[in-house]
């Protein structure tokens, strides 16, 4: 366990060095969040009752989404892992007395954490200072605040476990680009990255509730704003635990199968 903790610390500290990139990211994410809120505001003015979320809930959703973007994003991958698979360095990785799945999982998670640490606080502070209903509101209640933290953690781990499947899929291809593009295109919609899931048709929402995508960023952000509460929030947390176990198990089994047939490209 200590060796994986060391990998995590090293990768986090390495990521914290990129302060200029973080500053640029903060400015970009603030501008993008504000633009989205103003865009939705134009539609809400026409008929607020026609929308499934209160405008203040939507604003909180968008600001939290932007503040924790690097924690939730399913398009942020470690090029080092792809290079190891396609370039032949995987041979050196397999020679180490380490669990390859655990090592990559820790490295990927640490990279996300380092990015969000640099960006989230300034965004949250500025968003909280904006006037209602355009700013970040406080949690909907004590229950919402209590559940927000564990659901955030499990969303983060779910996203990492999903990205591990993309890494493993690269063992079966000559290039990771096709798999990455398809995964990003689908998951940005299904996780609520483009629009919150309540804005999608009812039949699609019901289907998504049975998938791991609804258990990712969608759940904690809606719990925070009070759009999901009570027994529904507890049920969502249980779904997160189920899908986390399922994706990790699937990733491990698939990697084990891939390593039995691995071909070192360029080695």
Helix axes 100-129, 79-87, angle to 10 degrees: 160
What's the confidence (pLDDT) of residue 60? 95
What's the confidence (pLDDT) of residue 149? 94
Whether pLDDT at 267 is above 50: no
Whether pLDDT at 198 is above 90: yes
Give the residue with greater pLDDT, 22 vs 104.
Answer: 104
pLDDT digits (tens, 9 = 90+) for 139-183: 988 999 999 999 999 999 999 999 999 999 988 887 788 888 888
d(CA 2, CA 103): 12
pLDDT above 70 coverage of the chain, percent: 98
Whether pLDDT at 262 is above 80: no
What's the confidence (pLDDT) of residue 265? 52
pTM equals 0.91
d(CA 96, CA 82): 18
């Amino acid at each position: 366990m200590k060796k994986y903790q060391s990998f995590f610390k090293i990768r986090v500290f390495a990521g914290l060095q990129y302060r200029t990139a973080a500053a640029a990211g903060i400015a970009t994410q603030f501008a993008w969040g504000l633009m989205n809120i103003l865009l939705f505001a134009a539609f809400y003015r026409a008929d607020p009752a026609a929308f499934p979320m209160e405008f203040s809930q939507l604003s909180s959703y968008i600001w939290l989404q932007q503040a924790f973007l690097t924690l939730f994003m399913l398009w942020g991958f470690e090029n080092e892992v792809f290079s190891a698979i396609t370039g032949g360095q995987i041979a050196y990785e397999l020679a180490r007395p380490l669990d390859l799945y655990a090592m990559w999982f820790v490295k990927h998670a640490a990279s996300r954490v380092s990015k969000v640490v640099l960006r989230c606080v300034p965004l949250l502070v500025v968003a909280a200072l904006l006037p209602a209903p355009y700013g970040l509101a406080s949690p909907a209640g004590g229950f919402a605040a209590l559940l927000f933290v564990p659901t955030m953690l499990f969303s983060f781990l779910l996203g990492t476990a999903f990205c591990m499947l993309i890494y493993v899929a690269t063992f079966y291809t000559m290039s990771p680009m096709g798999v990455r593009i398809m995964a990003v295109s689908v998951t940005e919609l299904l996780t609520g990255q483009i629009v919150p899931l309540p804005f999608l048709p009812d039949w699609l929402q019901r289907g998504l509730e049975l998938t791991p995508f609804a258990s990712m960023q969608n759940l904690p952000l809606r719990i925070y704003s009070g759009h999901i509460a009570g027994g529904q929030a507890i049920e969502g947390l249980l779904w997160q635990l189920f899908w986390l176990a399922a994706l990790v198990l699937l990733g491990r089994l698939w990697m084990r199968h891939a390593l039995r047939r691995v071909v070192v490209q360029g080695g």
